[in-house]
């Protein structure tokens, strides 16, 4: 039986790059983890060992660093689009490029305001502390004609201490979970959203940084303002809020692990636990996943 070479790609993964802007005494930082994957006319590379159509992965790494200097990094999305178009448009055997980027946030360190001694604080223009929380993400694909941009975030931990219930579910002989009419709802959000932007006919790019900030805000507001009867309901409310307010977004996919908080039994100690003391379980956990998209739009964001 004959064997056939299937889908394949190659590139340089996890190129760590920090770009410092020193245009003034108040420095700016962009901290990215960039992964490049290329595909195209690469059969001979696999079948005969000919590297005639192969752009070295070391070259892709060098391009990432050179472009950070030449073009700067205004946003992860814009940087990814520039890279993807370069690899496809300037290398005939390469037909498709996928750029995945994680962006890490740094907060400015503040020191006491010496002029007031005890009141207020001031930023140090060149000193930062790494924010250990959420990570901004994006994935850019370009096939020589159209651009697809999927932005997102991960590791955003949120909690509601009330306004959440869970009851009325299926019960069988193995069900031991007690119905809850006032519970903690907590999750670690992974979100990805697809833009309608295609880059065709010199289509103007959205303001990626502003759009990211607004999408994040709408998800947080929906989480906070939804009286939840299930995490699934909250997921739908978060995705719907984004689509209702951001015309540039066509699809939102959310992955919400339920970070369970269980009431601790304090009766053996003669104490009443009135929804005050909880045990936070890190695993096992319920994993709620779903996509909300505009009517008529075919969803394309894959399950992670």
Instruction: With beta carbons less than 8 A apart as the criterion, state whether 110 and 122 touch.
Output: yes
Q: How far apart are the first and last CA of the chain?
A: 34
Taking Cα atoms as reference points, which of 248, 240, 247, 246 lies closest to residue 290?
240
| 193: exposed, middle or buried (Cβ count in 10 Å: 0-12, 13-18, 19+) | buried
DSSP annotation of 228: B
Distance CA 191, CA 150 (A): 10
Instruction: With beta carbons less than 8 A apart as the criterion, state whether 251 and 187 touch.
Output: no
Instruction: With beta carbons less than 8 A apart as the criterion, state whether 290 and 239 touch.
Output: yes
Spatial strand order in the sheet of 135-142:
15-21, 28-40, 94-104, 135-142, 147-160, 185-195, 249-258, 286-293
Helix or strand run (H / E) with residue 261: strand 261-263
**Residues noted as catalytic:** 12, 57, 260
Distance CA 78, CA 87 (A): 15
Taking Cα atoms as reference points, which of 259, 138, 159, 125 lies closest to residue 208?
138
Distance CA 75, CA 208 (A): 6
Sign of CA pseudo-dihedral 224, 225, 230, 236: negative
């Amino acid at each position: 039986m004959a064997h056939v070479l299937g889908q394949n790609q190659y590139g340089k993964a996890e190129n760590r790059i920090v770009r410092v802007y020193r245009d003034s005494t108040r420095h700016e930082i962009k901290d990215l983890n960039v992964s490049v994957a290329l595909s195209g006319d690469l059969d001979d590379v696999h079948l005969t060992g000919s590297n005639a159509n192969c752009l070295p992965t070391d070259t892709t790494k060098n391009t990432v660093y050179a472009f950070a200097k030449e073009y700067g990094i205004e946003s992860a999305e814009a940087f990814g689009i520039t890279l993807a178009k370069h690899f496809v448009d300037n290398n005939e055997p390469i037909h498709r490029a996928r750029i995945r980027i994680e962006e890490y946030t740094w907060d400015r360190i503040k020191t006491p305001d010496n002029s007031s001694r005890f009141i207020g604080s001031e930023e140090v223009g060149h000193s930062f502390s790494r924010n250990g929380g959420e990570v901004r993400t994006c994935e850019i694909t370009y096939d020589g004609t159209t651009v697809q941009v999927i932005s997102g975030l991960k590791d955003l931990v949120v909690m509601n201490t009330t306004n959440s219930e869970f009851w009325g579910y299926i019960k069988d002989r193995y069900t031991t979970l007690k119905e809850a009419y006032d519970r903690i709802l907590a999750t670690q959000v992974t979100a990805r959203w697809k833009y309608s932007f295609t880059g065709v006919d010199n289509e103007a790019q959205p303001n990626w940084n502003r759009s990211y900030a607004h999408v994040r805000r709408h998800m947080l507001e929906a989480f906070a303002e939804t009286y939840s009867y299930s995490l699934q309901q909250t997921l739908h409310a978060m995705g719907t809020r984004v689509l209702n307010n951001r015309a540039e977004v066509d699809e939102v996919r959310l992955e919400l692990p339920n970070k369970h908080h269980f009431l601790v039994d304090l009766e053996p100690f003669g104490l009443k636990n009135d929804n005050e003391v909880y045990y936070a379980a890190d695993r096992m956990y319920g994993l709620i996943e779903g996509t909300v998209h505009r009517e008529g739009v075919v969803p394309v964001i894959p399950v992670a």
